[in-house]
């Protein structure tokens, strides 16, 4: 098991993105309601935020709810949003104390007033923090995001001259650096409509551990795997 002292720790990627998958199967394996799996998933998320902040990751982006997750039962969907509000409210003080800056990427249109105001409160309170930037992808879909950017562009004079960096600025994360490392726990090896533009050259690390069981040690293992990769970006 990877267990580094701060000194031995391999170079930490600037931006880590995580597809938090496996909550449902975790609950199924225990014969408990899915809600409990999502709850355990939130606990895992908070641990990973704390850890990422401690080891000096600059950006952590988590996939919390996709544009396709609306296909699930209303009960499951509203449970996920309720949990999110609960955790955001409960953890806000500690996040703020640890200088974490929170933002949310995705389409806010369908969010209830309760969700919107909990998110706005979190974003407002933490907006001047200089520590870890914690990006929550909520009602996020990469295709919807790219389409949104294309529509914004279509309404301007610039569409003929836009370059890749200019187009990226129209996406939710603006001029934030792309993820260096994309982690997907939960056993599946696919992107599921997450950050399609931004992960063009990200290193991918998959793990069979279900998200609620994902620990800082697992995260360190992913960073260790990342550190052993040779990134070439198409060059030599």
Choose among ligand IPE, Mg ion, none what residue 199 binds, the Cβ cut-off being 5 to 8 Å by kind: none
Residue 82 touching ligand IPE (CB under 6 A) = no
Could you list the beta-strand ranges (E) of the chain: 15-19, 59-66, 101-105, 133-140, 181-184, 203-206
Neighbours of 28 (CB within 10 A): 13
Q: What is the Cα 52 distance to its own chain's centre?
A: 12
168 contacts 175 by C-beta, under 8 angstroms: yes
Taking CB under 5 A as the binding criterion, the range among 21-29, 37-45, 174-182, 209-217 that sits at the site for Mg ion is 21-29
Of 76 and 224, the one with the shorter C-beta distance to ligand IPE is 76
At closest approach, how far in Å is the CB of 64 from ligand IPE?
Answer: 6
* CA 211/CA 159 separation, integer angstroms: 41
Residue 176: which residues within 8 A CB-CB, separation 6 or more?
Answer: 15, 59, 133, 135
The correct pick among 13, 21, 84, 209 for binding Mg ion (CB under 5 A) is 21
Is residue 214 part of the contact set for ligand IPE (CB under 6 A)? no
Residues 18-37 that bind ligand IPE (CB under 6 A): 19-25
Q: What minimum distance in Å lies between the beta carbon of 80 and Mg ion?
A: 12
Distance CA 154, CA 149 (A): 9
Reply yes or no on whether 107 is catalytic.
Answer: no
**184 CB-near residues (< 8 Å, 6+ apart):** 18, 19, 21, 190, 204, 205, 206, 207
SS3 99: coil
Q: Do residues 223 and 10 make contact, with C-beta atoms less than 8 angstroms apart? A: yes
Asked if residue 64 binds ligand IPE (CB under 6 A), the reply is: yes
Euclidean distance between CA atoms 208 and 185, whole angstroms:
6
Residue 21 known to be catalytic: yes
- In the complex, least distance from residue 78 CB atom to ligand IPE, rounded to whole angstroms: 12
How big is the chain, counted in residues? 236
| Contacting range for Mg ion; rule: CB under 5 A; set: 15-23, 61-69, 96-104, 155-163 | 15-23
Judged by beta carbon distances under 5 to 8 A according to partner kind, the member of ligand IPE, Mg ion, none in contact with residue 94 is: none
Site track for ligand IPE across 148-177, x = CB under 6 A: ------------------------------
Would you tell me which residues interact with ligand IPE (CB under 6 A)? 19-25, 63-66, 69, 80, 186, 188, 190, 192
Catalytic residues: 21, 69
Would you tell me which residues interact with Mg ion (CB under 5 A)? 21
């Amino acid at each position: 098991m990877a267990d580094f002292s701060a000194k031995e720790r391999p170079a930490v990627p600037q931006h880590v993105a995580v597809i938090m998958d496996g909550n449902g199967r975790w609950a199924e394996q225990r014969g408990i309601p899915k809600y409990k799996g999502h709850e355990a998933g939130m606990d895992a998320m908070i641990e990973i935020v704390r850890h990422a902040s401690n080891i000096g990751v600059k950006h952590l982006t988590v996939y919390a709810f996709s544009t396709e997750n609306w296909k699930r039962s209303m009960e499951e969907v509203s449970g996920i949003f309720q949990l999110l509000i609960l955790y955001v409210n409960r953890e806000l003080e500690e996040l703020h104390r640890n200088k974490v800056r929170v933002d949310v990427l995705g389409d806010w249109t369908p969010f209830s007033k309760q969700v919107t105001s909990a998110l706005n409160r979190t974003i407002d309170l933490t907006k001047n923090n200089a520590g870890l930037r914690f990006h929550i992808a909520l009602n996020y879909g990469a295709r919807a995001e790219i389409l949104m950017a294309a529509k914004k562009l279509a309404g301007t004079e610039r569409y003929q001259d836009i370059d890749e960096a200019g187009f990226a600025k129209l996406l939710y994360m603006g001029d934030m650096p792309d993820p260096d490392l994309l982690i997907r726990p939960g056993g599946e090896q696919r992107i599921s409509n997450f950050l399609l533009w931004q992960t063009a050259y990200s290193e991918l690390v998959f793990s069979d551990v279900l998200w609620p069981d994902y620990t800082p040690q697992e995260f360190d293992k992913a960073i260790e795997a990342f550190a052993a990769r040779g990134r070439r970006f198409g060059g030599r």
